[in-house]
Amino acid sequence: MTRDDCAGLDAGDVLAPLREQFDIPAGTIYLDGNSLGVLPRAAVDRVRQVVAEEWGQGLIQSWNDAGWIEQPQRVGDKIARLIGASPGEVVAADSTSLNLYKVLSVALTLMKADAPERRVIVSERDNFPTDLYIAESLARQHGFELKLVAADEIAQAVDSSVAVLMLTQVNYRTGRMHAMAEVTAAAHAAGALVIWDLCHSVGAVPVDLAASDADFAIGCGYKYLNGGPGAPAFLWLHPRHAARMDREQLWQPLAGWLGHAAPFAFTTDYRPAAGVARFVCGTPSIIALAALECGVDTVLAAEPFGGMQALRRKSIALTDLFIELVEQRCAGHGLELQSPRDPALRGSQASFLRGDGGYAIVQALIARGVIGDFRAPGLLRFGFTPLYVRFVDVWDAVEQLRQVLESAEWQQPRFQKTSAVT
């Protein structure tokens, strides 16, 4: 594979026009969309419109006139199209951590009612820390045990003691992807509920919550959905659980005023709204939701070109090429592939372990315009957003990595200083 071959792949890429949706800095190869997506061009004007017109001129009337009050549901309906959910089943609100707190609390409440002898929450030891911290907090509050296991131990760990299995579909460190339908079916057969964190999958790999018969799902808006730093997250629950909550008038634990059935009645008692609407807590962040909606639209723009299936095919091609080129062109420099080689088991990223200098190597790459990221103790992590990453970007990124390694440029003192955000 040569650079000209990569250019030929770009020339035949039906998704290539979608790159024009983004404002990518000149001279930058951005391989960190699994941490923060690139700015959509439309977001600049949309946020300006919200600030200058809807807020600046419309003021409080914009809750009605500009549809601010419907934003959590409207943006949620758009996200639903990417995760195999139906209109009215998803809300965009709050953060991933808060939404996990809500759905895990509900799941534990349901299991305490149905199977009080089950007192264990199982999760992957390598899960994203905030998920584990939230689960640990709730386990303490509700008298449960949080049990952490390796990825290949999950099936054996879900036994008659387990109430909830809580997993991230695509592992943030390695990119290893769980088979959602199979894992969910096995957990249900064992009598457990399943919560899926979609932070590293939504917008990058096809997700079908309904077909997988999942119970609950949450995810963030700032990675592959390109919603901007700190973008609102989203939340989904299976209609059977929503119907039960309606029937039994069950609360979610953060019973804020906009989750009330009639928030503007301003009653002193709480009555939950129907369905997923009760999971909206406080006043939504209108400016952030406007930016997130623009980001979600960039992913939905792929629908005429084959949608998530087309994005997935390109994602696999990009990551396969990156792995192949790194192993060919950077051989002998101590890089060990940590992501699954089988693309069916891999999300849209490739991670390599280096025994020493990993952080400095990434910093040297960033100085050359190739932006990836580092995760301790020695993981070089590269994300591939098929909406805007090109095949020539992959070639050029690996060439820059080769030069950094062969020249030992990463050993320069300026690359050794650790920043607050790594």
- Alpha carbons 336 and 330: distance in angstroms, whole number: 11
Greatest distance between any 2 Cα atoms in the chain: 69
Q: Which residues are catalytic?
A: 128, 197, 222-223, 381
- Residue for token digits 């917008």? 203
- Alpha carbons 111 and 379: distance in angstroms, whole number: 38
Q: How far is CA 52 from CA 55, 173, 287, in A?
A: 6, 40, 11
**Side-chain half-sphere exposure of 10, counting CA atoms within 13 A:** 18
DSSP letter string over 290-346? Answer: HHHHHHHHHHHTTGGGTHHHHHHHHHHHHHHHHHHHHHHHSTTS-EEE-S-SSGGGB
- Alpha carbons 279 and 2: distance in angstroms, whole number: 51
- Alpha carbons 421 and 261: distance in angstroms, whole number: 41
At a CB cut-off of 8 Å and minimum separation 6, what does 388 contact? 18, 19, 21, 22, 24, 30, 33, 38
| Helix, strand or coil, per DSSP, at residue 38 | coil
